[in-house]
Amino acid sequence: MFNLGIIVEVRTPNMWEKRVQYLKGVGPQRARLLARLGISTVGDLLFHVPRRHEDRTRCRPLKAYQDGELATAEGEVAAVQQTRARSGITVLRAALRGRWGLFYAVWFNQPYLTRVLKAGSRLTVTGKVRHGPYAPEIQVTEFETGEGEEGLNSGRIVPIYPLTDKLSQRILRGIVFQALSEAAALPEILPPRMLEEYGLRERHGVLAALHFPESMAEAERARRRLVFEELFLLQLAILRRRQKVVAQEKSHRYSVDGVKVTALQKSLPFALTREQEKAWREISADMTNARPMQRLLQGDVGAGKTVVAALALAKAAENGLQAALMAPTEILAEQHYLSLKSLLRSADIKAALLTGGLKKERRLLTLEAIVSGEVEVVVGTHALIQEGVVFRRLGLTVVDEQHRFGVRQRDLLRAKGDCPDVLIMTATPIPRTLALTLYGDLDLTVIGALPPGRKPVKTVWLKPAEKARLYRLVQSEIKKGRQAYFVCPLIEESEQLSAQAAIKLAEELKPVFPGFNVGLLHGRMKLEEREQVMNAFRDNKINILVATTVVEVGVDVPNATLMAVFDADRFGLAQLHQLRGRVGRSDQASYCVLVAGRTTPEAAARIKALTSLGDGFALAEEDLRLRGPGEFFGTRQSGIPELRIADLLRDHDLLEVTRHEAHRFLMEDPEFTSPFGCRLKAEIAFRFEAPTDSIG
């Protein structure tokens, strides 16, 4: 990789290889503390971005502050005194000798601090100022102790880092400063044109400016440069990955839509909506193309993605190819299988189910039918990507609910065929800015509207004490011939316990609704039992279905009009939206009842968002706001590397810009052979190691 003379300068020494414990002042113990912050190399350390900066250049005497104003002051501890107020609160008061005389620092209810605050030690405290009768005092919200490089901690703009116990701001500042002076100068990796066009500062000295800037503006400029760089590298990696796939040529060719696609279309009990039509046109065109399709089909819960996928499956079969549809759970795979089987049969296409739950004989028979090509469409779970599964001629892979799978699993499925077309479906309403990053290697088709006649699902929050209201509502719905779901939460990832909770709830409900059938569905049941229950529910022989979150995705029974979720505060926003999506699938009015007692403010905010917002995209934006992008649907799972500097929410404007630039760069230097290309390639390898794997 480094055979070109030009990058020898990058090679030695490399901060992404040098481990922090070999820095002066960092022994094994501090190295362990740093590891808790995710810092193991000098690179990690220097990319540990300050949470904020504090301007300590213009220190004023505390006298000059108003009561209640925020101030920072430094001094030496002269005395410490602890008292207990009548209310029971402990008050810790330290007298400090500072540059402008004596002042007090005050802490409430932190008695253990007496161990830290020794007479003679130096302290920097931040907090609100109060002018007492003797001397000004600071009610401390943040403070720093410990030794540390003189001149790093005051009289300048000072970085404030995300910290862990036992590691003080002062110590970390010292270590970072040390690392800065030891790290080799960073060679420029962005071409001059880009720096000029986007007003970015050069790379040399950027890390020093990020940590110890001369001005607040300099800190922001440094951050912006590094954000640009990080997103540009990420986009390059993603686009390169896509290029490699799309550069291939399919060994198979499709003809124009023929008998099977037409037969399937004719057999549908409804006409496709305009958006479904458009989605199908795009997919069909991709399939006809010589390059393999890489498309994401996005549509809110209930938008009708499955029929569109079915048309693609039929098109593959029609051209003598096999197709595979992979779903994240057994229940969902079964659901898809059952509904697709009958749909595909009308076009004379043979489908099979392949999941881990199959009995051995049936599994072997299915595998044989797949190898021989007798089965044209295989619906399944992860079981599809196992080694023993061999297709005769796999031409199309469809992945449902992509957010549950990683990039790797997607790739494994693709590897079962010779350059198959790839269609990925998701109901996760990803905000556009994030979609560009999460799915930057895919083309995007959106089904933006629900089928006609759908009414918004009326969503309410009830307290457990108001259960009677819920039961009355259920009663009136099932009397009208409609059906209801009751969902109890998955308990600590234990299927066993969640199953028990569901069983208990079903027993409780039976006497409440005499004369009606209460069914039960959970992950511990056998495949045949689950099939029976789902069939009975679909045929309206079960009025109330008590289930664990196994019904979360994909279940499609339009006659169900009520979804009750117990302990709703324990679910995430996206999950609740998925559950709610099980109802509102016909022209009947539907209800979603979220049952939760007193709960955390965050959970309350989620439930409230759901009661006021119906649209998945609005909810996704809200989710992003509430949780931050790091948490968003588990970005690690979706295969996007962790970003150190960029904040997808705050820096979304740069997402599109860097994508555009990455495109442009790859057009000129697709193999990364130019001097900048070489450096970029090396940088990507160091910064994003595994997730996109080798990009070369």
- Partner interacting with residue 238 (select from ligand ADP, Mg ion, none; CB below 5-8 Å by kind): none
**Could you give the C-alpha distances from 382 to 324, 339, 508, 540, 578, in angstroms and in order?**
11, 20, 35, 31, 21
Query: How many C-beta atoms surround the C-beta of residue 275 within 10 A?
Result: 19
Which bin fits 205, alpha (ψ -120 to 50), beta or left (φ > 0)? Answer: left
**Could you give the C-alpha distances from 654 to 148, 195, 443, 650, 667, in angstroms and in order?**
37, 14, 20, 9, 20
Q: Which is nearer to ligand ADP, 49 or 396 (CB)?
A: 396
Query: Residue 556 CB, nearest distance to ligand ADP (Å)?
Result: 4
Token representation of residue 364: 């072997």
E strand map for 481-574: 483-487, 518-521, 544-547, 560-566
Write the single-letter amino acid at 653. D
B/e letters for 66-104, b = 16+ CB within 10 Å, e = fewer, are eeeeebbbbbebeebeeeeeeeeebebebbbebeeeebb
- DSSP secondary structure string, 45-82? HHT---SEEEE-SS---GGGSPTT-EEEEEEEEEEEEE
> How many residues does this entry show for the chain?
696
539 neighbors 533 (Cβ within 8 angstroms): no
Q: Which is nearer to Mg ion, 553 or 595 (CB)?
A: 553
Q: Which is nearer to Mg ion, 300 or 441 (CB)?
A: 300
Query: Residue 590 CB, nearest distance to ligand ADP (Å)?
Result: 13
Q: Which is nearer to Mg ion, 98 or 304 (CB)?
A: 304
- Partner interacting with residue 302 (select from ligand ADP, Mg ion, none; CB below 5-8 Å by kind): ligand ADP
- Partner interacting with residue 307 (select from ligand ADP, Mg ion, none; CB below 5-8 Å by kind): ligand ADP
Q: Which is nearer to Mg ion, 328 or 554 (CB)?
A: 554
Which bin fits 483, alpha (ψ -120 to 50), beta or left (φ > 0)? Answer: beta
- Partner interacting with residue 48 (select from ligand ADP, Mg ion, none; CB below 5-8 Å by kind): none
Query: Residue 610 CB, nearest distance to Mg ion (Å)?
Result: 20
192 neighbors 61 (Cβ within 8 angstroms): no
- Partner interacting with residue 556 (select from Mg ion, ligand ADP, none; CB below 5-8 Å by kind): ligand ADP
B/e letters for 243-264, b = 16+ CB within 10 Å, e = fewer, are eebbeeebebebeebeebbebb
Name the β-bridge partners of 242. Answer: none
Q: Which is nearer to Mg ion, 519 or 554 (CB)?
A: 554
400 neighbors 336 (Cβ within 8 angstroms): yes
- Partner interacting with residue 428 (select from Mg ion, ligand ADP, none; CB below 5-8 Å by kind): none
In the complex, residue closest to ligand ADP by CB: 304
- Partner interacting with residue 205 (select from Mg ion, ligand ADP, none; CB below 5-8 Å by kind): none
Dihedral sign (CA 595, 601, 603, 609) = positive
595 neighbors 404 (Cβ within 8 angstroms): no
> Cα-flanking dihedrals φ and ψ of residue 436, to 5°?
-60, -35
Query: Residue 301 CB, nearest distance to ligand ADP (Å)?
Result: 5
Q: Residue 232: which H helix or E strand, with range?
A: helix 216-246
- Partner interacting with residue 460 (select from ligand ADP, Mg ion, none; CB below 5-8 Å by kind): none
Q: Which is nearer to ligand ADP, 303 or 499 (CB)?
A: 303
Query: Residue 477 CB, nearest distance to Mg ion (Å)?
Result: 23
- The binding track of 503-542 with respect to Mg ion, each residue x by CB under 5 A or -, is ----------------------------------------
Q: Which is nearer to ligand ADP, 276 or 402 (CB)?
A: 276
Query: Residue 165 CB, nearest distance to ligand ADP (Å)?
Result: 46
Query: Residue 642 CB, nearest distance to ligand ADP (Å)?
Result: 30
Which residues have a Cβ under 8 Å from the Cβ of 555 and sit 6 or more positions away?
331, 332, 335, 534, 582
Query: Residue 484 CB, nearest distance to ligand ADP (Å)?
Result: 17
Q: Which is nearer to ligand ADP, 237 or 377 (CB)?
A: 377
Q: Which is nearer to ligand ADP, 123 or 551 (CB)?
A: 551
Task: Report the distance separating Cα 138 and Cα 67, nearest Å.
Answer: 10
Token representation of residue 149: 């490089």
- Partner interacting with residue 558 (select from Mg ion, ligand ADP, none; CB below 5-8 Å by kind): ligand ADP
Query: Residue 333 CB, nearest distance to Mg ion (Å)?
Result: 12
3-state per-residue secondary structure call for 634-666: CCCCCCCCCCCCCCCCCCHHHHHHHHHHHHHHH
Query: Residue 402 CB, nearest distance to ligand ADP (Å)?
Result: 12
- Which residues, numbered 106-165, are part of the site for Mg ion (CB under 5 A)? none
Contacts of 112-116 with C-beta under 8 Å, sequence gap 24+, read 114/80, 114/82, 116/145
- Partner interacting with residue 585 (select from Mg ion, ligand ADP, none; CB below 5-8 Å by kind): ligand ADP
Query: Residue 403 CB, nearest distance to Mg ion (Å)?
Result: 13
- Partner interacting with residue 301 (select from Mg ion, ligand ADP, none; CB below 5-8 Å by kind): ligand ADP
Query: Residue 576 CB, nearest distance to ligand ADP (Å)?
Result: 15
Q: Which is nearer to ligand ADP, 103 or 280 (CB)?
A: 280
Q: Which is nearer to Mg ion, 287 or 325 (CB)?
A: 325
- Which residues, numbered 584-613, are part of the site for Mg ion (CB under 5 A)? none
Query: Residue 340 CB, nearest distance to ligand ADP (Å)?
Result: 10
- The binding track of 545-564 with respect to Mg ion, each residue x by CB under 5 A or -, is ---------x----------
Token representation of residue 537: 């529910």
- Partner interacting with residue 292 (select from Mg ion, ligand ADP, none; CB below 5-8 Å by kind): none
Q: Which is nearer to ligand ADP, 183 or 487 (CB)?
A: 487
Q: Which is nearer to ligand ADP, 453 or 514 (CB)?
A: 453
Which residues have a Cβ under 8 Å from the Cβ of 62 and sit 6 or more positions away?
71, 73, 98, 100, 103, 129, 136, 138
- Partner interacting with residue 108 (select from ligand ADP, Mg ion, none; CB below 5-8 Å by kind): none
Task: Report the distance separating Cα 436 and Cα 440, nearest Å.
Answer: 5
- Contacts with Mg ion by CB under 5 A: the residue count is 1
- Partner interacting with residue 146 (select from ligand ADP, Mg ion, none; CB below 5-8 Å by kind): none
**Could you give the C-alpha distances from 186 to 165, 233, 249, in angstroms and in order?**
31, 15, 40
Residues that bind ligand ADP (CB under 6 A): 270, 272-273, 276, 299, 301-307, 427, 451, 556, 558, 585
Query: Residue 446 CB, nearest distance to Mg ion (Å)?
Result: 15
Q: Which is nearer to ligand ADP, 159 or 451 (CB)?
A: 451
Closest CA to 98 of 70, 128, 71, 77: 77
Which bin fits 146, alpha (ψ -120 to 50), beta or left (φ > 0)? Answer: left
- Partner interacting with residue 236 (select from Mg ion, ligand ADP, none; CB below 5-8 Å by kind): none
Query: Residue 309 CB, nearest distance to Mg ion (Å)?
Result: 9
Task: Report the distance separating Cα 612 and Cα 330, nearest Å.
Answer: 32
List of residues contacting Mg ion (CB under 5 A) = 554
